[in-house]
Copies of this chain bind each other. A is one copy, B any other.
Amino acid sequence: MLPLTLDTTGLEVKAKFFRGFSDPSRLKIMESLRETPRTVSEIVEITGLSQPNVSNHLGCLRGCGLVRAKKRGRYVSYRLSDDRVADLLALAESLLADVARGVYQCTRYA
């Protein structure tokens, strides 16, 4: 492979994956799952988001492979799918600690 050749394989997939992290409501939901698995209704109560909104975001997060669902009677329990999800959040926090000021001032995408 030549030096200037870019490996663009799976960039669409990778972008879709990161989109799971790129919304405050979804981050809030993941934050609520960092400690322990929770049912949808628990997540609704903790986050203050509407029930359809939470279901929709959970569907997105499941599609991105970030959370897993387990049906228990009429409840559905969600949990982070992998320890690396929390690792990724932690690494982002570490980076943000240094660049947060810039990001905060970035008005490009309000």
Tell whether, in the assembled complex, residue B88 and residue A84 are in contact, meaning their CB atoms are under 8 Å apart: no
C-beta contact mask, A99-110 vs B, less than 8 Å → 1, else 0? 110111111110
- Closest approach, in angstroms, between the C-beta of A90 and any C-beta of chain B? 10
Chain A, interface size category, equals 35 or more
Other contacts beyond A13-B100, A64-B99, A84-B94: 14, CB < 8 A: A6-B32, A6-B46, A8-B28, A10-B100, A13-B104, A14-B21, A15-B26, A15-B27, A18-B18, A60-B106, A63-B102, A63-B108, A65-B99, A88-B88
Q: Which residues of A contact B (CB under 8 A)?
A: 3-4, 6-8, 10-19, 21-24, 26-28, 31-32, 35, 46-47, 59-60, 62-66, 81-82, 84-85, 87-88, 91-96, 98-100, 102-109
